[in-house]
Amino acid sequence: MTIIKKTMLLAGKEMQGAGGILAVTNPADGSLITEIRMASTEQVDLAVTQAMAALSKNNWFARPPHERASVLFKAAELMLERKETLAGLQTSENGKTLKESLGQVSAAAGIVRYFASVCETVEAEAPPPRGPYLSVTTHEPLGVVAAITPWNSPLTMAAQKIAPALAAGNAVILKPSELTTLVSIELARAFIDAGLPEGLLSVLPGDHTIGEAIINHPDLAMVSFTGGTNAGRAIAEAVAGRFIPTILELGGKSPTIVFADADLDKAAADVSSAIFGSGGQSCVAGSRLFVEQSIYDEFMDRLVAVSKKLKVGPPLDEESNIGPMASDTQRSRIERYVEIAKKDGGRVVLGGTRPDGPEYSDGAYYLPTIIDGLDHSSPVCQEEIFGSVLVVLPFTSEENLIEQANDTVFGLACGIWSQDLTKAWRVAGEIKAGTIWINTYKQLSIASPFGGYKESGLGREKGIQGLRAYQQTKSIYLGGLGT
């Protein structure tokens, strides 16, 4: 059993935490990777204080945009140079297949490059004069920003917050999930080693008490959080009285929709990937499937056939499509919902259990699961499970479909399969969700804003809008012209 001595980046410097012990385990076999010390509340205060001092001392925002961008470009290069290390850490901590983790390193580097480019190319706006004056709209940093990331995709989620916040001229305090501390620290090292001025980036590992200490710090200027809806609601309540901006990218119960005129083979493959990719541990997982009644049985046969081919196995095995769930706790949550489905009259069409075999005995593995026969009011159809469970329901008309698809507190994403693009576009316009895919799924671009409706969150990440979210907008007027 090893306790790592320096497992925290405080104001850019490696040091040991002063809080309690946090065990880091591998969900593939239950083994202990290491134990680390969490940050203390006193270290939270020190990180924020030093971040504020660094913003003043280093005059980060006052540097020419291309200089700030050069640090981000270098950080992206270092991520790719350290690709194997970053991917290996993520896979060992949360169970993603190594193939997926390698892809996410490339995606994280792409995110950082994008915001580096935006940083050095986006200018202040000068609206056309409407009278004897000149007006200019400028965008200024907020100050010290808290970035709180989840365990399911720590590489891309951290990059998606750190890069725009730094590009916008802020300092960042990153609080990673307890499950993915090591990879988060290693990612942050790329920014430090790229030449980021001292004090502008800290990574503080810990449990919810550290998160609360960061969020409630009086000098914090903004919170950007990705995670569960209940935690997002608590954050919103905590900061409401201080009127600081928040980005909350929260849960989802995203519908996928297959019309009778769809390419059924492609739709079956896409729907299976939409829910079972990453073991269903994705905020945009297509966890509710609506199939037009006239093709219900035919499509179910195709979907089950495709999903049966997915191999659950060790994440380092190149043939594995799905690794373990991120923890035993997460697998137990999935199992509870499957039991609820059975009690509510649901029929387990595929999976619904742990895989057999000695190679699975110590890991948090669970088979891809398809359930039908439920009423849409069942908790299994309404609540986010965050695992490899798909519920399937028939629909008979567009009106019936749209009513059911929107009948949830969430509104993050949706997928539609139909060869009638006019119909698909019409339905897309009626679905209350932040991202709609037609005849595809999970095609994401860092240049396109991302976020949700309803209890799926507030604000948007990605794109130029994602950069502006980390800035204040100021309008300046110069009068006395033309007189």
Residue 109 lies in domain: 8-250+456-475
Say whether both 271 and 245 belong to one domain: no
Say whether both 386 and 471 belong to one domain: no
117 belongs to a structural domain: yes
Q: Give the β-pairing of 347-350 and 246-249.
A: unpaired
Say whether both 398 and 281 belong to one domain: yes
451 belongs to a structural domain: no
Q: Is the pTM of this model over 0.85?
A: yes
331 belongs to a structural domain: yes
Residue 259's domain is classified under what CATH number? 3.40.309.10
> The tokens 């986010």 sit on which residue?
384
450 belongs to a structural domain: no
Instruction: Collect all residues with Cβ–Cβ distance below 8 Å to 415 and sequence separation of at least 6.
Output: 254, 255, 256, 257, 270, 271, 274, 286, 436, 437, 438, 440, 441
Positions in the chain whose pLDDT score sits under 70: 1-6, 482-483
Say whether both 269 and 240 belong to one domain: no
Q: What are the tokens at 6? A: 């320096």
Note the pLDDT of residue 483: 58
Instruction: Collect all residues with Cβ–Cβ distance below 8 Å to 93 and sequence separation of at least 6.
Output: 24, 26, 33, 151, 154, 179, 180, 181, 182, 183
Using CA atoms, how far residue 432 sits from 136, 156, 427, in Å, is 36, 25, 10
Say whether both 214 and 259 belong to one domain: no
Using CA atoms, how far residue 450 sits from 83, 153, 336, in Å, is 25, 15, 31
176, 225 contact by CB (below 8 A): no
482 belongs to a structural domain: no
Say whether both 228 and 164 belong to one domain: yes
Instruction: Collect all residues with Cβ–Cβ distance below 8 Å to 43 and sequence separation of at least 6.
Output: 8, 10, 17, 18, 19, 204
Say whether both 387 and 404 belong to one domain: yes
In the chain, the number of structural domains is 2
Say whether both 175 and 277 belong to one domain: no
397 belongs to a structural domain: yes
1 belongs to a structural domain: no
Say whether both 170 and 289 belong to one domain: no
Give the other-Cβ count within 10 Å of 140's Cβ.
13
Q: What are the tokens at 283? A: 């905020």
Q: Which residues are catalytic?
A: 161, 249, 283, 461
172: β partners:
145, 201
Say whether both 145 and 281 belong to one domain: no
337 belongs to a structural domain: yes
Say whether both 246 and 259 belong to one domain: no
Note the pLDDT of residue 6: 60
Say whether both 292 and 169 belong to one domain: no
